[in-house]
Structure 1
Amino acid sequence: MSQTLRRVGTFLSVYYAYMVEYRAELLLWVLANSLPIIMMGVWTQASQTGQFDFGPLDFARYFISVFLVRQFTIVWVIWDFEREVVEGKLSPRLLQPIDPVWHHVAGHLSERVARLPFTLALVGFFFLLYPQAFWVPSLGRLVLAILGVAIAFALRFIMQYTFAMCAFWTERATAIEQFWYLFYLFLSGMIAPLDLFPEGVQAVVQWTPFPYLIYFPASLLLGRSVNVIQGFMVMVGWCLVWLVANRWLWRKGLKHYSGMGA
């Protein structure tokens, strides 16, 4: 156990040192993922017509929560993995006594820590400009929200890493992710709260993985009424489905892999 912990610590420290070399780039990435802030302005203005159950304050709190969840659940593993396969850089990692996925996991987790100061600074600046939107979630809701964000990140990572397996057969696996992103954009709650969708759409979407990537953790943070047990069960269920598909594609893909040194 102690040896495993030392390895984990080494992995995380190495990738954290790598990430902080690009602090300016991290700030740009944080700003580049500020779409929820833009949508907050749009919906806050639209809510003044009185046609929504959400008021301006509700929209402000919802989209700042979405911004926070998005900062901790963003994933880019498919671009890294595709490059490794196409350029043959996966071969030396296959010689190591550890699954290559842990390099990507360590990189993502370390980036979260390096990104955190910029994220908190922007959130603090938001509440400085809009103090009436400030709220303090209850301890129970905060714990559930943190757990929801962690599982949402795991689900998003496994989904994208599964798409990345297609790089064994095509040089543009990222095209699959870009197509999938359209559904993620509209059904995850990033563009609009799912409460504003027709009831029929909500009934179908709640069994897909999309709402649990952003909307569900954000709702937990806000203390909104959601089915907590069902939400976590659906998230874990989808994690298992994608994990099984991922391992199957990984074994098939390795047999097909023909990179340099393979």
Structure 2
Amino acid sequence: MINVTSRSSKAVKLRAQEILQVKALPLFSEVAPQQLESLLGAALLQQFPSGVDLIHEGDSADFLHVLVEGLVEIFTEQGGTEWGISLVEPVSTFILAAVVSDQPYLNSARTIRESRILLIPAERVRAVFDQDVEFARIVARELAFAYRGVIKKLKGYMARSSVERLANWILAEAQKNSSQANIVLPFDRGTLASHIGTTREHLSRSLAQLTEHGVRIRGREIVIDRQDLLEAFARPQQLIDDPTV
């Protein structure tokens, strides 16, 4: 659980542009103005350096987190080993289910890059959920999308080898910025290994194996020379890899 007055962060009120960003989120876009004012009036915007633990699994859900800028890793620790759950990019919320249900966090979260995060007290979120039918409907939709994301990832783990999961991860990252033929890892290889369900050692072997399928490795850069070869090997599937489905 983060401390909103900790030395590692600085709490400020929302600026006009940031309020517009938050209002544009699907979760808040159709909320009644009075209810939205109730949510944002109690919110704090904090700046966190990289590597700060934001929440710990098992703790009570005290805030809804909205990532305005930066990158956040959702993970779990089991048997002394960390496993990646997801990577959160702006502008988006995370750990919504624990807040709405008033249950302990099932996962932990930390910043991977310097990040700005909006903190909305969980009690306010639940109060608006009870009072605003439209907000409750949107929350249900957000939770449904999150559930589908988990099922997709589980299907990928069950149906693919670690090198196939890596290949599809590379293709997905490349689609985010089609103007570039390379991907620069925003984190270390250990984090990437965790998020595709493998070890750092197996990741290195998988990267080497992909050089036979149109990929080159240059330090933290992954260069796709032959996307057709990579796609032929990865065999992406709509019901696993398409984020719009």
- Between Structure 1 and Structure 2, the one with more strand by share is 2
Q: Which has the higher contact order (CA 8 A, sep 6+)?
A: 1
Tell me the TM-score normalized by structure 2: 0.26
- Between Structure 1 and Structure 2, the one with more helix by share is 1
Tell me the TM-score normalized by structure 1: 0.25
